[in-house]
């Protein structure tokens, strides 16, 4: 829906191997913003490789994106954008798997699919709100030789692969990063090519990359090339956490209360889901030697046990004393108090977060859902589980734990 017809942009074309779809998206006005989060700018040179490792990608070996993208039907889109104000730029669904993404994803889908992962990359993959940030901080710290002091924001140390797809398309890219991009890619436009994609691509090895994209939207060779840490969280706590997040971030700006959110969530109308499909794809790969499947609840229950698993998986060879230091550095209260891992203040300043909606690093517990799930929502939950019964009944999620980390 275009609110201002005079500013209607040319139709966006979604191309897939077997179909071509055209739709329009609204762009109300361009907003100049020189910074996403002030701290992010800290010494970009220090983390970028020269030359960029994948600067030649996509290569002659590039694969055509094999799936089809469809815009949401007009009625559903209109309904959603009334309740999720940030979704006004449109949403696209992967026809074959149901994954729902903001419309800009269409521009990058093939690039993500062809992203060249390197042998020493570690990919932290999750459905949103399942422990990504915690795991990113742990993995980065372990792979940096226990660097507890470098004051780089997490998104710089372990870039968010598909963030270009999630950004508000009205916003100008971060000026300093765009400058760096142009210096390295003369004649190319960072908004077209993807600034965050560039950051992920150009970061120095060994790279730790964050993604909420499921396996099916990434290069099929990923687990054979690089290590993947997949973190899963029980869907009740994940949905409560996602509810708060969707109210907080301006790219969603959800206006309702939890019951309404849960309705959208279970109808697969919240971006980066469906939850069960995402987890299923991770679960299916759990026995792959390059995939470590970890539950958030297990980390909460016994962080040292899970740290040891990670230590073995990453081959980092730390002693228990060293792992204890990582656990301390990455525990909830410490991550909440560091602006590098909890960028709430900076994001509020630049209008990316909405005031009065809490913090990015919020509560960090298992069982918060008990304060939200009424008998009606329990019933809705059970019906939803029934619908996804194969995967939903197989994965042994914990909804409460015995001991806090």
Catalytic annotation present for 329: no
Query: Do residues 201 and 190 touch, judged by C-beta distance below 8 A?
Result: no
Q: Residue 160 contacts by C-beta under 8 Å, 6 or more apart in sequence?
A: 196, 200, 210, 211
Q: Quick one: which of 347, 342, 316 has its CA closest to 249?
A: 347
Rg of the chain, C-alpha, whole Å: 20
Q: Residue 192 contacts by C-beta under 8 Å, 6 or more apart in sequence?
A: 107
Q: Quick one: which of 264, 166, 147, 157 has its CA closest to 200?
A: 157
Residue of 25, 127, 212, 329 marked active site: 212
* Structure-token pair, residue 374: 């009424």
For residue 15, how many other CB atoms are within 10 A of its CB? 15
| SS3 assignment, position 103 | coil
Cα pseudo-dihedral 190, 192, 193, 196, rounded to 10 = 60
* Distance of alpha carbon 87 from alpha carbon 251, whole angstroms: 7
Binding site for ligand PPS (CB under 6 A): 126, 128-134, 237, 241, 244-245, 330-332, 335, 361-364, 368
What is the bridge-based pairing of β-strands 12-15 and 20-23? Answer: antiparallel
C-alpha distances (whole Å) from 204 to each of 50, 53, 54, 58, 159 are: 8, 8, 11, 18, 11
Least distance to ligand PPS, CB of residue 220, Å: 24
* Structure-token pair, residue 182: 């142009």
Q: Residue 251 contacts by C-beta under 8 Å, 6 or more apart in sequence?
A: 86, 102, 166, 167, 168, 352
Give the residue with the Cβ less far from ligand PPS, 25 or 362. Answer: 362
Query: Do residues 233 and 283 touch, judged by C-beta distance below 8 A?
Result: no
- Catalytic residue list: 212
């Amino acid at each position: 829906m275009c609110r201002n017809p005079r500013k209607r942009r040319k139709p966006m074309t979604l191309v897939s191997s077997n179909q071509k779809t055209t739709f329009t998206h609204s762009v109300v006005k361009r907003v100049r913003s020189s910074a996403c989060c002030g701290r992010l700018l800290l010494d970009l040179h220090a983390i970028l490789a020269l030359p960029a490792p994948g600067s030649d990608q996509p290569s002659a070996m590039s694969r055509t994106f094999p799936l089809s993208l469809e815009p949401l039907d007009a009625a559903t889109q209109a309904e959603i954008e009334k309740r999720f104000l940030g979704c006004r730029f449109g949403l696209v669904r992967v026809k074959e798997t149901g994954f729902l993404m903001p419309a800009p994803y269409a521009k990058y889908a093939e690039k993500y699919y062809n992203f060249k992962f390197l042998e020493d990359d570690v990919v932290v993959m999750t459905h949103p709100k399942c422990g990504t940030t915690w795991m990113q901080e742990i993995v980065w710290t372990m792979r940096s030789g226990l660097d507890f002091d470098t004051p780089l924001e997490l998104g710089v140390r372990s870039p968010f692969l598909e963030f270009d797809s999630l950004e508000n398309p009205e916003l100008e890219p971060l000026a300093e990063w765009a400058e760096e991009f142009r210096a390295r890619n003369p004649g190319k436009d960072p908004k077209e090519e993807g600034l965050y994609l560039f950051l992920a691509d150009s970061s120095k090895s060994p790279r730790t990359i964050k993604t909420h994209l499921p396996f099916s939207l990434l290069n099929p060779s990923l687990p054979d090339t690089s290590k993947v840490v997949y973190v899963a969280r029980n869907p009740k706590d994940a949905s409560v956490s996602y509810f708060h997040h969707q109210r907080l971030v301006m790219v969603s700006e959800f206006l309702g209360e939890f019951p309404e959110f849960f309705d959208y969530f279970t109808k697969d109308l919240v971006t980066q889901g469906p939850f069960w499909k995402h987890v299923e794809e991770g679960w299916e790969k759990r026995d792959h030697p390059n995939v470590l499947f970890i539950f958030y609840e297990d980390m909460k229950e016994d962080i040292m046990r899970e740290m040891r698993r990670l230590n073995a998986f990453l081959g980092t060879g730390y002693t228990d004393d060293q792992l204890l230091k990582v656990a301390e550095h990455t525990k909830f209260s410490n991550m909440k108090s560091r602006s590098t891992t909890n960028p709430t203040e900076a994001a509020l300043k630049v209008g990316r977060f909405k005031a009065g909606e809490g913090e990015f690093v919020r509560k960090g517990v298992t069982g918060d859902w008990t304060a939200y799930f009424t008998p009606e929502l329990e019933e809705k939950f059970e019906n939803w589980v029934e619908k996804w019964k194969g995967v939903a009944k197989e994965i042994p999620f914990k909804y409460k734990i015995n001991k806090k980390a």
